[in-house]
Amino acid sequence: MASPPRTAERPSLWPQRKPQPSYSQLLKDLRRGSIEDLELSPARREVSVRYKDGQRAQVSVFNNDQVLLRTAQQHRVPLTVRDDSRDSATASLVANGLLVLLLLLGLGLLLKRSAQVANKALGFGRSQPRVQEDTAAPVHFEDVAGIAEAKDELAEVVTFLKSPERYTAVGAKIPKGVLLVGPPGTGKTLLARAIAGEAGVPFFSMAASEFVELFVGVGASRVRDLFRKAKAKAPCIIFIDEIDAVGRQRGAGIGGGNDEREQTLNQLLTEMDGFEDNSGVILLAATNRPDVLDAALMRPGRFDRRITVDLPDRRGREEILAVHARTRPLAPSVNLADWASRTPGFSGADLANLLNEAAILTARRQHQQIDDAALTDALERITMGLSAAPLQDSAKKRLIAYHEIGHALVTTLEPAADQLDKVTLLPRAGGVGGFARTLPDEEVLDSGLITRAFLKARLVVALAGRAAELVVFGPSEVTQGAAGDLDLVGRICREMVTRYGFSSLGPVAFESETGEVFLGRDWLRGEAPYSEQTGRRIDAQVRQLASAALDQAVALLEPRRVLMDQLVEVLIQDETIEGDRFRALVEAHEAGPRRQLAAVGA
């Protein structure tokens, strides 16, 4: 059945609108007498039309339209004129009112903002919510694993805090400041909290970056506030994280330093000097950039103890995993030793994160125990965002291992060199690859006198990494990894020639000491105080010293290729070789040929 036309069906509740008639149509309709009345709105230049059949329409008209007026008059169509000036007046009033309101609102917001800033500026020193005693659950030494050396050294601080009389009775001064140096996440904060926990004293902690704010003087005032609160609670521990944020060398850089930071650092130094010896407040600070710290921070009576917190080695990682596994249900099949060897380069924080991720995955899978599958997935997730990759890449790892073994082996073989402390494949704070660390010679440190033999030995040791690469991989496979070593070599050689008279140029100082108070000094220095010809001879001497050192290192390493291979295997297996063990391994190897020689002689 066909539906009836819709227009016919629609009830006519409202007067129907005619399709817009044209102006001429309007005049025609007027003349025909089909229009009931008209209403003219002059301001809108429009006329509303009501037809006799009840329909309505709007038609635009001319300004001051005389034709329309006359036609309406002639045909006696009533025409009213609407006064819409009142409408527009109301509209503009509303618009203006809104504008004023908006302006007022904006002004109010601005005033409120500046009042907040002013409040902050005036009340900065007083109410710093961050300078507060840390009341989280106490941490103990047993919660810190894998960094035994640092822990042992800090155990003494606990005794200082617990029974200071033992030290004061014999006139010993308790240290005021201990600097913890190491890469992020190795447990420096954890150690500091463990000291407070073990000694049962309050713990105040703050990141140095929080001292420095927009306003000059805020940092200094916060430092004062921190020390005031801490002194009231002595004995206690103050921990300042990332101390390099305020403790950088003052006056460094061209164009002056950052005033606010310097003021903060000065205040920190003043406070450290200000509290009496044995007041019971011990300041611990952490950094991974000890090289940029202001020398004034390290003076006696300030941070005169420095403890290195390295990345954990394989055994250390196993211990840390065990600590974090205490509170988590592990499946019996999980072998933590395996997981320790699968996570080279991981810090304590990374390991804690690994177990936590695995626990989250276990919960998501609705399992009861953390199993190897969960750990594997967690490891994959974590390593995507980690820079520990070079350690897992075995070719690169082997190259780094040979480089470091080169340094370590030459250190051990050179009689005038410092003693080897340890060699490791774990990256140093802020660096890549491993490092071979020596213990500074106490005698040299005390006397401040350096012999020519000592400097030559340093050159040989510094170039031993490059030498090892040369011996093992050949001249075209050497890497830029030795750039840092070469830099050091360049500086030592130059000083030997131009300042100490350790070359064939004779006992003449061509340059005087440049205490690097600010880095722009080299720029501003005038002409070199020697002739161009002498300059060339200096360069030649520098090169000769460096090449002789490299030859010496190659001569030491080349005949010991087998020993190097063995040591590299041990290093890759264990990641770290302590100095004593290294010397024993070298000694055992060197004794072999001697024994053979002795046997032949006999």
Q: State the catalytic residues.
A: 404
Q: In the bound complex, what is the minimum distance in angstroms from residue 197's beta carbon to ligand ADP?
A: 13
Q: Which is nearer to ligand ADP, 320 or 410 (CB)?
A: 320
Neighbours of 119 (CB within 10 A): 10
Q: Which is nearer to ligand ADP, 27 or 323 (CB)?
A: 323
Token pair 């974590």 is at which residue?
Answer: 382
Distances (CA, A) of 119 to 111, 273, 328: 12, 32, 48
Q: In the bound complex, what is the minimum distance in angstroms from residue 271's beta carbon to ligand ADP?
A: 22
Q: In the bound complex, what is the minimum distance in angstroms from residue 374's beta carbon to ligand ADP?
A: 19
Q: Which is nearer to ligand ADP, 199 or 557 (CB)?
A: 199
Q: Which is nearer to ligand ADP, 185 or 202 (CB)?
A: 185
Task: Find, among 304, 346, 296, 294, the residue nearest to 321 by Cα.
Answer: 346
Q: In the bound complex, what is the minimum distance in angstroms from residue 150's beta carbon to ligand ADP?
A: 9
Q: What's the CA angle centered on 128, arms 123 and 133, to 5 degrees?
A: 150
Which distant-in-sequence residues (6+ apart) come within 8 Å of 481 by Cβ?
Answer: 399, 400, 403, 433, 465, 469
Q: Which is nearer to ligand ADP, 311 or 496 (CB)?
A: 311
Burial 33-44 (b: 16+ CB within 10 A, else e): eebeebebbbee
Spatial distance between the Cα atoms of 556 and 109, rounded to a whole number of angstroms: 75
Q: Is cis: bond before 415, omega within 30 of 0?
A: no
Q: In the bound complex, what is the minimum distance in angstroms from residue 319's beta carbon to ligand ADP?
A: 8
Phi and psi at residue 522, to the nearest 5°? -60, -35
Lookup: tokens for 5: 């036309």
Spatial distance between the Cα atoms of 78 and 80, rounded to a whole number of angstroms: 7
Phi and psi at residue 240, to the nearest 5°? -115, 115
Distances (CA, A) of 364 to 136, 329, 358, 435: 28, 15, 10, 41
Spatial distance between the Cα atoms of 492 and 508, rounded to a whole number of angstroms: 16
Q: Which long-range contacts (CB under 8 A, 24 or more apart) does 540-543 make?
A: 541/493, 541/497, 541/503, 541/504, 541/505, 542/490, 542/493, 542/494, 542/497, 543/493
Q: In the bound complex, what is the minimum distance in angstroms from residue 261's beta carbon to ligand ADP?
A: 21
Q: Which is nearer to ligand ADP, 320 or 359 (CB)?
A: 320
Q: Which is nearer to ligand ADP, 192 or 374 (CB)?
A: 192
Find residue 467's DSSP bridge partners: none
- For ligand ADP, the nearest residue by Cβ is 348
Q: Which is nearer to ligand ADP, 13 or 137 (CB)?
A: 137
Lookup: tokens for 533: 């010809």
Q: Which is nearer to ligand ADP, 267 or 308 (CB)?
A: 308
Q: In the bound complex, what is the minimum distance in angstroms from residue 579's beta carbon to ligand ADP?
A: 22
In the structure, how many helices (H) and strands (E) does the chain have?
Answer: 23, 12
- State CA 236 to chain mean position distance: 28
For 103, half-sphere exposure in the C-beta direction (CA atoms, 13 angstrom radius) is 6
For 302, half-sphere exposure in the C-beta direction (CA atoms, 13 angstrom radius) is 17
Spatial distance between the Cα atoms of 381 and 375, rounded to a whole number of angstroms: 10
**Residue numbers at the binding site for ligand ADP (CB under 6 A):** 144-147, 184-190, 286, 320, 323, 348-349, 352
Spatial distance between the Cα atoms of 96 and 195, rounded to a whole number of angstroms: 68
The end-to-end CA distance of the chain, in Å, is 129
Q: In the bound complex, what is the minimum distance in angstroms from residue 248's beta carbon to ligand ADP?
A: 19
Exposed, middle or buried by CB within 10 Å (0-12, 13-18, 19+), for 239?
buried
Lookup: tokens for 212: 């420095």
Q: In the bound complex, what is the minimum distance in angstroms from residue 467's beta carbon to ligand ADP?
A: 35
Lookup: tokens for 52: 């006799």
Q: Which is nearer to ligand ADP, 189 or 343 (CB)?
A: 189
Q: Which is nearer to ligand ADP, 146 or 465 (CB)?
A: 146
Spatial distance between the Cα atoms of 385 and 224, rounded to a whole number of angstroms: 39
